[in-house]
């Protein structure tokens, strides 16, 4: 396991986030020594889900993502879940945040339905990425090169398809944080 001591990773999400796509990266990155901040739209706890519709646990947060200063983090993670991703993609603050992370050339890791936020933020054109298969038309229509792979790394953009891909997803994040 790499040593991520001193690294700060933010995870942004909302209600009905796919639980393993938030909890898996959060816990693995913390185990590696990173400080991981979970942020919601307004700082309130997040209702996680399994399979998009089955509520699981409430996840405590560390604040609101609108208050996040990109200069204080080393990477940003955007988990999926259809409802979570649909709400994030139309949130101007979330769009601004991912644009700032991309402009700062920091790792941006997005899984499952999370790439909808990248499409809405105008960050897909000319990029190679993966996602939940139903997003492939959105990604291609936005000028991206969609591929069906466990994990795709295009410069500092890391993408994966689904909860089963979380181990490879986190390994790719760790590699970028230690390179």
d(CA 34, CA 179): 15
Distances (CA, A) of 119 to 53, 55, 139: 23, 27, 7
How many angstroms separate the CA atoms of 37 and 164, rounded? 23
Alpha-helical segments (H) within 9-159: 19-31, 82-89, 92-103, 115-120, 136-141
Rg (CA), the chain: 14
Active site residue 113: yes
Tally the residues of the chain.
179
Which of 41, 89, 113, 162 is catalytic? The answer is 113
Which residues belong to the active site?
Answer: 113
């Amino acid at each position: 396991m790499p040593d991520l001591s001193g690294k700060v990773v933010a995870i942004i999400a909302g209600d009905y986030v796919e639980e393993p796509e938030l909890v898996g990266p959060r816990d693995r990155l913390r185990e590696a020594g990173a400080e991981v901040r979970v942020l919601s739209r307004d700082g309130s706890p997040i209702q996680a889900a399994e399979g998009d519709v089955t509520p699981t646990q409430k996840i405590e947060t560390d604040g609101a993502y609108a208050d996040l200063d990109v200069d204080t983090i080393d990477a940003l993670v955007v988990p999926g879940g259809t409802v979570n991703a649909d709400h994030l993609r139309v949130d101007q603050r979330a769009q601004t945040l991912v644009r700032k992370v991309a402009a700062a050339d920091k790792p941006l890791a997005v899984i499952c339905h999370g790439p909808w936020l990248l499409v809405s933020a105008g960050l897909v054109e000319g990029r190679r990425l993966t996602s939940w298969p139903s997003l492939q038309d959105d990604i291609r229509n936005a000028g991206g090169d969609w591929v069906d792979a466990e994990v795709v790394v295009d410069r500092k953009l890391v993408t994966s398809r689904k909860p089963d891909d979380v181990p490879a997803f986190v390994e790719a994040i760790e590699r970028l944080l230690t390179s």
